[in-house]
Amino acid sequence: MNRKQIAVVTGAHSGLGKEFVKLLTEDGTISEIWAIARNKEKLDQLISEFGNRVRVFSLDLSDRTSFSVIEKLFLEERIHITYLINNAGFAKFCSYDDITVDESLNMIDLNVSAVVALGLICIPYMKKGSHIINIASQASFFPLPYQNIYSSTKAFVSNYTRALNVELKNKGITAIAVCPGWMKTGLFDRGTIGADRATNNFSGMVTPDVVAAKALSDAKKGKDISIYGLPVKLTWLFSKVTPPKLMMRIWLMQQGIKP
Ligand SMILES: NC(=O)c1ccc[n+]([C@@H]2O[C@H](COP(=O)([O-])OP(=O)(O)OC[C@H]3O[C@@H](n4cnc5c(N)ncnc54)[C@H](OP(=O)(O)O)[C@@H]3O)[C@@H](O)[C@H]2O)c1
């Protein structure tokens, strides 16, 4: 019996993740899309919207016991993983002391540890032509005061993914870091906590569908980084030739924040 070709998408019921699910349902080579997030009701809506090729798993990826649940599922089924899309993540727009130690560590658990763990768990089920798509951010380009943990987690994701891509070359598997600018999604509902000093200039916001489409297309081309839109590309290039201290000063001015 042939193995099922599956795609695993985390943070799948909303924002960017939902756009990935939508695009993957249009790919006839994928037998099942395994959609992971915490909210079961919202996950179930994916099945109503996109049909039974979507299977849903309500798991908290900041809880490490979830990884063994996923590993067990992989062992029980005959699968090949064509896509792993590590998309679940969250930000907090505030100063370091506006959130608790637990909230800070939870951000690292989801944005970093889950990305690494799922990659390591999925790679043995991948083959030549499979893709790992890790969602970083333009926040990875330089350190961001008042988003210090978020931007650091995304810098990790970007560096880790691009280095992993080199290590996976001999297997024919690609890993790509997706670095979106601001997108119109639920990120802001969880990220905005009414802090005195916080990111509040979200200029150049795009819808997530265009970012997802470019990410899938760039992954198929074997790229190791995907950046949608000229303003974000220019920020990336500018950050390569500008000292981080100056980038941070410009960022604070743009955000109207006095440090
Ligand atoms: N929006 C932007 O401007 C922007 C810019 C650059 C990068 N990004 C990145 O894009 C990715 C997608 O975010 P989004 O903008 O689409 O935001 P979103 O609409 O808030 O989506 C986040 C998704 O992650 C899931 N999630 C959150 N905590 C989770 C947990 N502990 N375990 C499992 N799933 C969890 C959420 O579902 P549940 O709450 O049900 O778990 C939701 O489906 C994130 O990595 C984000 O950092 C966003």
Domain ranges of the chain: 4-255
- Atom 34 of ligand 1: nearest residue by CA position: 37
Report whether residue 212 contacts ligand 1, using a CB cutoff of 6 Å: no
Q: Please identify, in words, the CATH class of the domain defined by 4-255.
A: alpha beta
Q: What spacing in Å lies between the alpha carbon of 89 and ligand 1's midpoint? A: 4
User: Can you give the pTM of this predicted structure?
Assistant: 0.98
Phi, psi angle pair for 239, to nearest 5°: -70, -20
* Pairwise CA distance, residues 37 & 16, whole Å: 13
Report whether residue 112 contacts ligand 1, using a CB cutoff of 6 Å: no
The mean pLDDT of 54-64, rounded to a whole number, is 98
Find out whether 154 and 137 touch, Cβ atoms under 8 Å.
yes
pLDDT of residue 1: 65
CA 8 to chain CA centroid, nearest Å: 12
pLDDT of residue 123: 98
- The pLDDT of residue 46 is above 70: yes
- The pLDDT of residue 259 is above 90: no
Find out whether 179 and 137 touch, Cβ atoms under 8 Å.
yes
Q: What spacing in Å lies between the alpha carbon of 134 and ligand 1's midpoint? A: 12
SS3 7: strand
- Atom 1 of ligand 1: nearest residue by CA position: 183
User: Confidence class of residue 2 from pLDDT cuts 50, 70 and 90?
Assistant: confident
Report whether residue 141 contacts ligand 1, using a CB cutoff of 6 Å: no
